[in-house]
Structure 1
Amino acid sequence: MNFDSTQHNVGNIDRLMRAIVGALLLVVAFLGNIWVAVAALIGAVLLGTAYFQFCPSYTLFDFSSNKDASPVSK
């Protein structure tokens, strides 16, 4: 298990889905839903992982959705 954040492990489709869901959760949070803090936190994490193209939990499970990257465990 190597937490190298310079090696991208989030692919383009995964990145797009994270960005859309993250943005929607932030909008829900700002609209004043009862789950404001939870939605804002999850939305921020999803947008952050989409921006940096790195997901620490993917590294934990030795997974990568990035087709261009080399395999994680070598």
Structure 2
Amino acid sequence: MSVNVGNMDRILRLVVGLALIAMVFVGPQTPWGWIGLVPLLTGLTRRCPAYSIFGLSTCQRRK
């Protein structure tokens, strides 16, 4: 099981995921904020199922 999410992509996913989840508790308090679990989990595991399906990767390749 290889990783396919690079460092910058990972940081962005974590920030967006936390921001969306925060919307559940603060701000508009909408349940749509739970969608933030998807980018949060993919950022934590460094693995994106959609990237795997399409053969994408944002990781730097080792030489």
TM range (shorter): 0.7 to 0.9
Q: Which runs of 5+ in 1 are unaligned?
A: 1-5, 70-74
The reply on whether 1:11 has 2:13 as its aligned counterpart is no
CA distance in 2, matches of 1:51, 1:20: 11
Structure 2 residue corresponding to 1:39, chosen from 33, 38, 44: 33
State the 1:31 CA deviation: 2.2
Provide the C-alpha distance between the structure 1 equivalents of 2:39 and 2:59, rounded to a whole number of angstroms. Answer: 16
Any unmatched runs of 5+ in structure 2? none
Identity across aligned pairs (percent)? 35
Equivalent of residue 22 in structure 2, options 7, 27, 36: 27
Question: What does residue 72 of structure 1 align with?
Answer: none
Whichever structure has more helix as a proportion of its residues is: 2
Counterpart residue type for residue 31 of structure 1:
V
Supply the RMSD in Å over aligned alpha carbons. Answer: 1.6
What stretches of structure 1 move > 4 A for 4+ residues in a row?
Answer: none
The alignment of Structure 1 onto Structure 2 pairs a total of residues equal to 62
Q: Does 1:51 align with 2:47?
A: no
